[in-house]
Amino acid sequence: MKYPGLFLFMALGVALVVTGCTTGQLDRAILQRVVQDDEPAGVSEIAANEVALQRKPLATMDPVDLNEQSVLRLAQAHSRKLQDQRDQLVRAGLTLFGTERDFGPRLSGTAGYVFSSTDDEDRETASVQVGLSQKLPTGGEVEMTGDWTGDQTGGDAGGLTSSRARFRIDQPLTKGAGYRSGWEAFTQARRDFRYALRTFSLDRQDAAISTMRSYYNLVQQKSVVENTRQNLAQFEFLRKRSEALFKVDRAPAIDVLRSQQQELTALNRLTEVQEGFTIAVGRFLADLGIPIETEVELMEGRPELREVTVSEPEALELALDRRLDLMTARDRVEDAERKLSIARQDRIPELNVYAEGTLQDGDEDASKDAYTGGVSLELPLDLRPERDAVKDAALALESARRAYEQQIDQVRLDVREAFSRLRTQRIAVDIQLKNIDIAERRTRNAMLQFRNGTLSNRDVIEAENELLSARNAWGQALVDYEIQRLGLLRNVGLMDLAVDGTMIELNPEEEQNDGMAQDQ
């Protein structure tokens, strides 16, 4: 043989095996590379690590202690909603990997065998064909194919064989030429995956804040149970005191009846809040994705009153620089600008060149080699589709710019509203704390006058109920303040989550310094 076709088949076969064996590793490498490329744009590698994590369904679970950190870890490991969000990111990754494969080396192969028999002779034909194609950075495409055919008739020992190797390259010079135009689908797929990463990062933060809101509300409900139990104990004492004073004619019968009725009301209220707390625990466990029969113990009390160290102007500057959804809106403007440029390029008549070479070897005839090349020019008889595409791309660009401007306004409003609500909640915490102090002094004064016989127990009952309301309102104000603070951190881009789901509050000064360093 003049051209050893067997060598070509072996080389292509080895390439096929190697590529097939490393597909999974290539997919993971693509994912890590995209995330590394995207880190300066606001997405940490934590989001990529999330792809490899899967929810761990549980049938039973040992008793657990619930605190601020453990509930986030449990939600990270078992939450059904978070797993749905994680699956959406995986789907986006699969879409990216499919596009990556379309623009990478594409291998194909077929093998066939045919046996035919007549009265005169038997005939066997075997064939193998392999191919390799690759999109070029210039927008062109190169393709290599090789095939081998063997034909044996009757009892011939050798039979006939033939092999052929073909190489072809196509290169557009106008429409579709260049990396930007020819690889647009590849570029957009990578950017879409970047957007999916940002969305997933925000979804994780929102899920963490929601988990903390539910946890703090659960802690608050437990506090309400304790406050109500103390309230019941006070009314039980008041009832006994009223009965004792009535026996010595120092209190009227109406005071006894009033105290008895109030004790029953407090007992009923305690029963309601206890049952409500039990139901709330079950709902919280269901949201975490763990069995609702799991025994739990709330280890911590109310959230601490933590101040925000960043001012409103600084927060606004950080938000405009670090908000992930704003980054996406800004990048979509770039996408629209790129697509408009490509649409304008596509209005140029299509001009392509190609070259092809064939190496052939066979037993019947002399080996034949063939080489061809040419050029083709499209005659643009109807340019209306191209004109419409340019107009559509221009409209899409204007829409993207409007959406970006709207997102900027929304970010500013979010920051201002967050600070306004935070100030309101901070005042509410102080007010409710003062209310507790006033209610405690009022209760002590009313009880003292009641013991002296100068006041009926009606004022004691009112004071005790006001004290209960003030304590519960103060606890709820603390919860609302902390959730509002976490929402503010999320809105200005000062929140991140560790791989285990726990919150990381970023230092605003460090983030500002990092931003200035990147600008320089």
Give the HSE-up count for residue 80: Cα atoms under 13 Å, Cβ half-sphere.
9
Q: Are strands 495-497 and 503-505 parallel, antiparallel or unpaired?
A: antiparallel
Question: Mean pLDDT in the chain?
Answer: 84
Residues 6+ apart with CB under 8 A from 267: 232
C-alpha to C-alpha distances, 47 to 32, 55, 498, nearest whole angstrom: 10, 15, 9
Highest mean pLDDT among 23-37, 44-58, 199-213: 199-213
- The pLDDT of 46-52, averaged and rounded, is 50
| 3-state SS assignment for residue 263 | helix
Cβ–Cβ < 8 Å for 219, 298: yes
Residues 6+ apart with CB under 8 A from 329: 400, 403, 404, 407
C-alpha to C-alpha distances, 339 to 97, 139, 184, nearest whole angstrom: 22, 16, 8
How far is it, in rounded angstroms, from Cα 30 to Cα 21? 16
Kindly provide the b/e burial profile for residues 214-239, where b requires at least 16 CB atoms within 10 angstroms of the residue's own CB. bbbbbbbbbbbbebbebbbebbeebb
pLDDT in tens, 279-319: 999 999 999 998 888 888 887 778 888 888 889 999 999 99
Longest dimension (CA), the chain: 133
Helix axes 253-288, 184-247, angle to 10 degrees: 160
The CA-based dihedral angle spanning residues 490, 495, 498, 499, taken in that order and rounded to the nearest 10 degrees: 40
Q: What is the DSSP letter of 40?
A: G
pLDDT over 90 (residue 24): no
Residue 93 is predicted with a pLDDT of 86
How far is it, in rounded angstroms, from Cα 41 to Cα 197? 11
Cβ–Cβ < 8 Å for 399, 407: no
Residue 58 is predicted with a pLDDT of 60
**What is the band of 31 on the pLDDT scale with cuts at 50, 70, 90?**
low
- The pLDDT of 489-503, averaged and rounded, is 90
DSSP 323-345: -HHHHHHHHHHHHHHHHHHHHHH
**What is the band of 382 on the pLDDT scale with cuts at 50, 70, 90?**
confident
Domain span holding position 190: 5-350+357-519
- The pLDDT of 314-328, averaged and rounded, is 92
CB-count exposure of residue 265 (10 Å: 0-12, 13-18, 19+):
middle
CATH number, position 16: 1.20.1600.10
C-beta neighbour count of 305 within 10 angstroms: 14
User: What percentage of residues in the chain have a pLDDT greater than 90?
Assistant: 48
Residue 22 is predicted with a pLDDT of 44
Domains in the chain, number: 1
pLDDT in tens, 400-410: 999 999 999 99
Residue type, 65: D
Residue 54 is predicted with a pLDDT of 54
Residue 220 is predicted with a pLDDT of 92
Give the HSE-up count for residue 496: Cα atoms under 13 Å, Cβ half-sphere.
14
Q: Is the entire prediction scored with pTM above 0.85?
A: no
Based on DSSP, count helices (H) and strands (E) in the chain, helices before strands: 13, 10
- The pLDDT of 160-164, averaged and rounded, is 83
**What is the band of 450 on the pLDDT scale with cuts at 50, 70, 90?**
confident
Residue 207 is predicted with a pLDDT of 93
How far is it, in rounded angstroms, from Cα 34 to Cα 191? 9
Residue 275 is predicted with a pLDDT of 95
pLDDT over 80 (residue 2): no
Handedness of CA 10, 16, 20, 22 (dihedral sign): positive
Residue 61 is predicted with a pLDDT of 66
- The pLDDT of 145-152, averaged and rounded, is 88
CA-nearest of 497, 87, 502, 82 to 290 is 82
Q: How far apart are the first and last CA of the chain?
A: 65
Q: List the alpha helices (DSSP H) in 248-356.
A: 253-288, 312-322, 324-345
pLDDT over 60 (residue 27): no
How far is it, in rounded angstroms, from Cα 240 to Cα 395? 80
- The pLDDT of 483-509, averaged and rounded, is 89
State both tokens at 446.
């009313």
State both tokens at 448.
């003292």
